[in-house]
Structure formats: structure tokens, C-alpha cells
């Protein structure tokens, strides 16, 4: 079954963009997934086909209209999860990506201007997702990130089925460092254990490296990992 992505945007020409290349592009060509970018403005009415208006209560910028967005969503609503990309949404996690990749696909709503009328979010119970604690010009870049993360997990996309097993976040830890030839580069040797052929020792080194990096760089992930480990052993 083809995994289907629909993107509602004011700039459909931004898609597929980088998703038309490399792994995602090849997977699209072979029918493992499809992408349909639809212009929100096609659902606007009136002489000027306005998709936004001034915010009630005053303030800078414009707000995307609930009636226009609702019409755009209604035109593609087929039971797939609907996500609106917004900086106030729940953080995008590897678990959320994996859950979406297991389903039939996703509908992504890309906001612009100051934001989206809250009423359409509530009426359609849209899931709000953020890709990080920063502000973008619109949801399109975030949509590309989310889709890339999902598509690479679809069966048949990555060459090796276990390529994603030990990646960052898949086990609750950041990934261990990687090395390849040459064995020594500008006086920097590869850790000796990786050349030993001792698979148990290599696995132990990698686990310890992952723990050390996570503890140093992401104390939030480290705390969650410790809590999860403790609950499993309780």
C-alpha cells in the first residue's frame, strides 16, 4: 500500500523540493509513497481570494481564516491523521514519526503569517506539532522535515532494514560515534576496540559512548532514559 502525504500550503511549488531526491525521491518513483501539494488559496472565495485577515483584538500581522482552511481540509479529509505545523505544538519525536509511518499517510497543514484561526484547530481536532524551539517563515520547511523523517522508515525505503535500529532517539539515547577508513587520520586513530573484531566489546563500547554523549549533550533525554530503565527493572 502506498503511504500518502497531502500538504496544504500557499506555496505548493516548494514541494517535493529535496523530497524528490535521494532515498525519498527514489521511493516516490517506485510508488512506496506519494505526495500531493495543494494550494490553500484554491479554496478562498471573493474577488481577491483572501486567505487571511486582521486579528480580532488587534496586533501585528495577519491570521489565516478558519473558513478557508476548513474548506481546504474538507476537500482532502479521508481519515488520515491531520497535523498542523506550529512552534507551539508538541515536539516532533522519533516515536511520533514511527507512529505516522505505520499508518496510511498524513495530511499536513502549513501555516503562514501570524498563525491560524484557533477555531479550525479545535473544530477539526488538529494535532499540533513543532520541529523545534525557533520560528520559521511558514510550515513548509517543517513539513519537509516531518515527511523526510517518516518516509525513510517506510518498508523498502532504506537499503538495510536494520539501518534505523540504533540511530539517535530510537533507543532513547543519542547515537554513538562512527568511524571508517583510514584507520588513522592526521594523527587521530580509530578507537582500538572497533578494530578488535570482538563484537561483544564493540557493542559495549558503543552503548557506553551513546550514554556518555546523551548525558553530556541532552540531560533531558538522559533523565528520561534513566527513568525508563528504572521502571523496566522495577
Q: Tell me the pLDDT tens digit for each residue of 64-78.
A: 999 999 999 999 999
**Rg of the chain (C-alpha set):** 22
pTM, two decimals, is 0.91
Note whether 39 and 140 are same-domain residues.
yes
CB count in 10 Å sphere of residue 42: 14
Average pLDDT of the chain? 95
Same domain, 54 and 146: yes
Cis before 99 (ω within 30): no
Q: What is the pLDDT of residue 68?
A: 98
Domain limits at 227? 184-233
pLDDT band at 164 (very low <50, low <70, confident <90, very high): low
Predicted pLDDT of residue 163: 58
In this prediction, residue 230 has a pLDDT band, given cuts at 50, 70 and 90, of: confident
Among positive and negative, which fits the CA dihedral 116, 122, 126, 129?
positive
Asked if 28 contacts 16 with a C-beta cutoff of 8 angstroms, the reply is yes
Within a domain: residue 160? no
Number of folded domains that form the chain:
2
Q: Express each pLDDT in 98-140 by its tens digit.
A: 999 999 999 999 999 999 999 999 999 999 999 999 999 999 9
Rounded to an integer, the average pLDDT of 183-201 is: 98
- Answer whether residue 25 shows pLDDT above 60: yes
Residue 112 placed within a domain:
yes
- Per-residue pLDDT band for 159 (boundaries 50, 70, 90) equals confident
Q: Does residue 90 have a pLDDT over 90? A: yes
pLDDT of 27-63, one tens digit each?
999 999 999 999 999 999 989 999 999 999 999 999 9
**Does residue 224 contact residue 172 with C-beta atoms inside 8 Å?**
yes
pLDDT on residue 234: 66
191 and 146, same structural domain? Answer: no
Domain boundary pick from 136, 151, 166: 151
| C-alpha cell belonging to residue 171 | 533507543
Residue in 61, 4, 66 with CA at minimum distance from that of residue 38? 4
- Kindly state whether residues 36 and 79 are assigned to the same domain: yes
Alpha-carbon gap, residue 163 to 150, rounded angstroms: 14
- And the C-alpha cell for 134? 525557533
b or e along 13-33 (b: 16 or more beta carbons within 10 Å of the residue's beta carbon)? ebbbbebeeebbeebbeeebb
Q: 160: pLDDT confidence band, cut at 50, 70 and 90?
A: low
Could you tell me if 83 and 132 lie in one domain? yes
Same domain as 10, residue 73? yes
Mean pLDDT of 186-206: 98
- For residue 161, the model assigns a pLDDT of 57
Q: Grade residue 165 by pLDDT with cuts at 50, 70 and 90.
A: low
Shared domain check, 197 and 85: no
Within a domain: 48: yes
pLDDT at position 166, please?
A: 60
Q: Are 189 and 125 in the same domain?
A: no
In a domain, 163, yes or no: no
**What letters, b where the CB count within 10 A reaches 16 and e where it falls short, cover 89-112?**
beebebebbeebbeeebbbbbbbb
Domain of 90, CATH number, reads 3.40.1280.10
pLDDT confidence of residue 135: 95
Q: Is the pLDDT of residue 167 over 90?
A: no
Amino acid at each position: 500500500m502506498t503511504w500518502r502525504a497531502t500538504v496544504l500550503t500557499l506555496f505548493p511549488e516548494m514541494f517535493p523540493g529535496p523530497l524528490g531526491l535521494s532515498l525519498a525521491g527514489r521511493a516516490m518513483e517506485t510508488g512506496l509513497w506519494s505526495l500531493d501539494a495543494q494550494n490553500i488559496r484554491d479554496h478562498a472565495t471573493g474577488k481577491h481570494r483572501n486567505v487571511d485577515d486582521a486579528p480580532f483584538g488587534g496586533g501585528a500581522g495577519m491570521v489565516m481564516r478558519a473558513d478557508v482552511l476548513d474548506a481546504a481540509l474538507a476537500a482532502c479529509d479521508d481519515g488520515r491523521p491531520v497535523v498542523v505545523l506550529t512552534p507551539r505544538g508538541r515536539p516532533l519525536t522519533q516515536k511520533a514519526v514511527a507512529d505516522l509511518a505505520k499508518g496510511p499517510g498524513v495530511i499536513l497543514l502549513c501555516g503562514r503569517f501570524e498563525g491560524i484561526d484557533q477555531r479550525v484547530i479545535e473544530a477539526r481536532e488538529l494535532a499540533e506539532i513543532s520541529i523545534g524551539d525557533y520560528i520559521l517563515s511558514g510550515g513548509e520547511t517543517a513539513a519537509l522535515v516531518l515527511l523526510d523523517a517518516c518516509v525513510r522508515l517506510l518498508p523498502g525505503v532504506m537499503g538495510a532494514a536494520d539501518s534505523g535500529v540504533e540511530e539517535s532517539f530510537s533507543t532513547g539515547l543519542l547515537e554513538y560515534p562512527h568511524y571508517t577508513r583510514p584507520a588513522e587520520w592526521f594523527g587521530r586513530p580509530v578507537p582500538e576496540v572497533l578494530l578488535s573484531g570482538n563484537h561483544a566489546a564493540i557493542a559495549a563500547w558503543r552503548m557506553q559512548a551513546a550514554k556518555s554523549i546523551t548525558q553530556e549533550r541532552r540531560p533531558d533525554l538522559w533523565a528520561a532514559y534513566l527513568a525508563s530503565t528504572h521502571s523496566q527493572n522495577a
